[in-house]
Chains A and B, each alone.
Chain A
Amino acid sequence: MRVLIVDDEEELVRALVERLRLRGIAAEGVTSGREAIEAVGREAYDVAVVDVKMPGLGGLKVAEELRGRRPQLEVIFLTGHGSEEDAEEGRRLGAFDYVMKPVSIDALLRSVTAAAARGGKPG
């Protein structure tokens, strides 16, 4: 299972990547929507964990672009203060799940594993 973490908070990306790798998941991270789009064009990720509020391209737009490039990619949104509008927009764009910050690593792991299984890549 290959997971891409997308958040403009570099330290958060780094820590999540380290923690997922310690659990045997091939995780990588980027800090902008533009980098995420490039990464997904280059590598076959199964799941992208995308922050909703990012500079430049916001998370909802990034998710739409990622799924446009790789329809089998499952997207999980990361959000600080989830709003109903964001949740509705995320569902419309086919997001698999929403995870609130601060992240429970166990909850993220469950969500990532389930998302990969739906995409046909069990962890």
Chain B
Amino acid sequence: MNAPDGTADREPALAFFGAASAGLSHEINNVLAIINELAGLIGDVVAAAERADVRADGARLRAVLERVSAQIARGKEQVRLLNRFAHSVDGPTGGLDGSEVLSLAVALGQRAARLRKVALATVAAEAPLRLPGGAFEFLHLFHRSLGLALARAKPGSGVEVRVIEDAGEAVVRLEVAECAPTADAAWPALLAEAIEVAARHGARLDTVLEPGQPGHVSLRLPAAPGAGPAGEGGPRGTRGA
């Protein structure tokens, strides 16, 4: 089935799952590409020594191996993120402790932020975050909110994520240090889609994004079932396996 504009007409959530998975696969592919080059470099150094009939430069080889180890650690972290993201779909729903899911959401958003040349950071939560739905639904809502913030953030500036309580509601606030002078042509469609996704989940999106000014995107979540202080009982947001 295609939409009138010819693009595949799919659930926005499915599109998000695809985009997030593709982003992680790109990162993992980059790690593999680097390990491939470093392994090749070790081979080059050894081959050059054999041709010259001398011992290979041990210090140089050790330095390259340390670079390989660093990439393996980076790759393991990407695979761990992929695992947690995959399990966000099949985990429990309702009344989740959102702090762990929020850290995953920010980690998943780093690539998009980097591509926009925007620094993305989390500020210590000022209020508990209980999720009304599942981890995946929250990740999707956060992704849409971040998309809005990044679309308007000035390259070179930053976005800080904080959780606050406002009128009894948990609010995930993405604070943009400085908005760009102009908005992308895609902005109206991006905003309309994000608002629609939020409404589907009973959430609300507010944006204050004026050119040249600090701004914010606020995601107001509906009350979670049995909401109490975060961290006291209740299922966890994501699991690893």
Contacts and interface: CB of A to CB of B under 8 A. Distances in A.
A74 B41 CA distance: 25
Interface string B37-54: 110110011001000000
B29 A15 contact: no
B155 interface: yes
B71 interface: yes
Interface residues of A, number: 19
A81 B25 contact: yes
| Interchain residue pairs A-B with the least CB separation, the first 3 | A15-B37, A102-B36, A101-B33
13 contacts: A9-B30, A9-B34, A11-B71, A15-B40, A18-B41, A22-B41, A22-B48, A55-B115, A81-B29, A102-B32, A102-B36, A102-B37, A103-B37
A64 to B, nearest CB: 18
A11 B45 CA distance: 17
A16 interface: yes
A84 to B, nearest CB: 15
Secondary structure of the B contact surface, majority rule: helix
B26 interface: yes
A56 B33 contact: no
A54 B30 CA distance: 12
Contact of A80 (B30, B37, B38): B30
Secondary structure of the A contact surface, majority rule: loop
B155 A56 contact: yes
Interface string A101-114: 11101000000000
Interface of B: 22, 25-26, 29-30, 32-38, 40-41, 44-45, 48, 67, 70-71, 114-117, 155
B98 to A, nearest CB: 29
Contact of A56 (B35, B45, B67, B117): B117
Contact of B44 (A22, A53, A54): A22
Contacts of B33: 9, 12, 80, 101-103
A91 interface: no
A19 interface: yes
A55 B32 contact: no
B71 A80 contact: no
A30 to B, nearest CB: 15
Contacts of B22: 81
A38 B41 CA distance: 28
A56 to B, nearest CB: 5
A54 B26 CA distance: 12
Nearest to B74: A11
Interface in A63-113: 80-81, 101-103, 105
B26 A53 contact: yes
A16 B71 CA distance: 15
Contact of A19 (B41, B67, B115, B155): B41
A15 B115 CA distance: 22
Nearest to A11: B34
Contacts of B45: 22
B41 A15 contact: yes
Contacts of A12: 30, 33-34, 37
A61 B212 CA distance: 25
A8 B116 CA distance: 13
Contacts of A9: 30, 33-34
